[in-house]
Amino acid sequence: MSADRTALTPLPPGSWLGMLGGGQLGRMFTVAAQTLGYRVAVLDPAERCPAGDTADLHIRAAYDDAAGLDQLAERCAAITTEFENVPADSLRRLARDRRVSPVADAVAIAQDRIVEKRFISSLGVPVAPYVAVLAEQDLADAPDDLFPGILKAARLGYDGKGQARVSSREEARAAFHAFGNVPCVLEARLPLAFEVSVVVARGADGQSVAYPLSENVHRDGILAISTVPSRQASDELAERATAAAIGVADGLKYVGVMCVEFFVLDGDRLVVNEIAPRPHNSGHYSINACVTSQFEQQVRALAGLPLGDTAMLAPAVMLNILGDIWFDENERSREPDWSAVLAVPSASLHLYGKESARRARKMGHVTCVAAGELSVDAAAAKVAHALGIAFP
Q: Is 274 marked within a binding site?
A: yes
In CATH terms, is domain 129-188 a member of 3.50.50.60? no
Among the four given CATH numbers 3.40.50.2300, 3.40.50.720, 3.40.50.20, 3.30.70.100, the one describing domain 16-100: 3.40.50.20
Say how many CA atoms lie within 13 Å of 230 toward its Cβ: 24
The secondary structure of residue 327, as a DSSP letter, is B
Residue range 192-387 in CATH 3.40.225.10: no
Judge whether 188 is annotated as a binding position: yes
Q: Establish whether 158 is an annotated binding residue.
A: yes
**Residue 161 assigned as binding residue:** yes
Determine if residue 122 is left, alpha or beta; phi over 0 gives left, psi from -120 to 50 gives alpha, anything else beta: alpha
Is residue 190 part of an annotated ligand binding site? Answer: yes
**273 marked ligand binding residue:** yes
Residues 6+ apart with CB under 8 A from 182: 153, 154, 155
Phi, psi at 79, each rounded to 5°: -140, 140
160 is in an annotated binding site: yes
The answer to whether the 16-100 and 192-387 domains have the same CATH topology is: no
Q: How do strand 222-228 and strand 316-322 relate by DSSP bridges?
A: antiparallel
254 annotated binding-site participant? no
**Domain boundaries defined on the chain:** 16-100, 129-188, 192-387
- 26 is annotated as contributing to ligand binding: no
Tens-binned pLDDT, residue by residue, of the chain (392 aa): 333 333 469 999 999 999 999 999 999 999 999 999 999 999 999 999 999 999 999 999 999 999 999 999 999 999 999 998 899 999 999 999 999 999 999 999 999 999 999 999 999 999 999 999 999 999 999 999 999 999 999 997 665 678 999 999 999 999 999 999 999 999 999 999 999 999 999 999 999 999 999 999 999 989 999 999 999 999 999 999 999 999 999 999 999 999 999 999 999 999 999 999 999 999 999 999 999 999 999 999 999 999 999 999 999 999 999 999 999 989 999 999 999 999 999 999 999 999 999 999 999 999 999 988 889 999 999 999 999 999 98
Query: Order of strands, edge to edge, in the sheet holding 130-133?
Result: 130-133, 184-188, 149-153, 163-166
Residue 163 labeled ligand binder: yes
Please tell me whether 152 is known to bind a ligand: yes
